[in-house]
Homo-oligomer: A and B are copies of this chain.
Amino acid sequence: MATHKKIGEREILRSIRAMTARSRTSGIRVGIGDDCAVLTPRAGEELVITTDFSIEDRHFRRNWHEPEAVGHKCLARGLSDVAAMGARPLAVFVSLAVPKEFTTADGKKRAWISRFYDGLLALAAREKVSLAGGDLSESPSFAFADIVVVGAAPKGRALLRSTARDGDILYVTGTLGGAAAELAAIEQDHRPFRGLKLSDSSHPHFFPQPRLATGQALLRRKLATACIDISDGLSVDLLHLCEESDLSAELDASAIPVHPRATLEQALHGGDDYELLFTASPRSRVPRNLGGVTISAIGRMLSRKAGKRVTLVTGKATRAPLLPQGWQHF
């Protein structure tokens, strides 16, 4: 970990360290200020770790996204991976590189970098996870961040993609396509979306809500046989689940919980929803609401059929292979 003055802004590092010292979570013995952070998991726990880039002009744009929203989403993406494992988040590391002008106040507004941390740390506080380290650097041009989230789960019990079974029912949390629909609206005209700074679940593109409580409940109650988060879109992430479990799947188009502002196409192929897609035995009683979000049964897992991973069933007799449509950020 770098704690030295790389960016010519020692004050920024001091203020980040002060912010995080106040909110130290149990499980972090040493946070920012040493070569490494030191984490102390509980006895009998395994650790889960994820990393994800957020890159300007690829994942966000400086004139579309307020820095607070960039910070929120940067962390939300990592937390969503931890949610998909059924784990509780333990510590967060952020490596951030920004152009020089992002480190100084802009008129009456605080510096971009401070506002980025505001958004990120607000979500961290809400989810009771601490910033334990990272890196800070000047970037030659565009801004980029790499988020690392470390979580903990009882040993041997983290939810995986590879453990779905033939005959399992497929479930999804919340609604799908909302982020893609909002992105389409921004592409038409981004001005109505200016100034969104505070986490608000009615703006799924700007403020995705990681399903941590649901993931932890799925693990604790032994409901899920496999789980993945939908970051690239249902068609792509279901394909990953099928590949890793070596199964096929059948989706019921009419059962997919489409976001009120989205189309079925956006629900199937839009990315950035950060809902959980999981499988459970047909004998399990999966509640309709778990961890504060609705749960919908949307299909089932089948034994592997050569070259046919996912089939979409529309109406009584119409079946068509569902091809993955990789979601591009812009």
Residue numbers of A with Cβ under 8 A of B are 1-5, 29-30, 33-41, 43, 46-53, 55-58, 80-82, 84-85, 87, 91, 93, 95, 97, 132-135, 137-142, 144, 146, 148, 150-151, 153, 155-156, 158, 160-162, 227-229, 231-232, 236, 240, 244, 326
Contacts and interface: CB of A to CB of B under 8 A. Distances in A.
A36 B135 CA distance: 21
A131 to B, nearest CB: 12
A158 B40 CA distance: 11
Contacts of A155: 40
A49 B155 CA distance: 20
A46 B36 contact: no
B229 A34 contact: no
Given A2-B231, A49-B39, A140-B58, A33 B161 contact: yes
B162 A232 contact: no
A20 B137 CA distance: 29
Central interface residue in A5, A41, A47, A141, by most chain B CB within 10 Å: A47
Given A43-B43, A97-B53, A240-B4, A162 B33 contact: yes
Given A146-B135, A146-B146, A36 B50 contact: yes
Contacts of A37: 48-50
Nearest to A236: B4
A133 B51 CA distance: 8
B2 A49 contact: no
A44 to B, nearest CB: 8
A138 B41 contact: no
The 5 A-B residue pairs whose C-beta atoms are closest, nearest first, are: A36-B48, A146-B146, A35-B84, A35-B81, A36-B50
Contacts of A156: 29
Given A4-B240, A35-B81, A140-B142, 14 more contacts: A1-B51, A4-B232, A29-B46, A35-B228, A36-B81, A40-B47, A43-B43, A47-B150, A49-B132, A49-B133, A51-B146, A56-B140, A141-B142, A146-B146
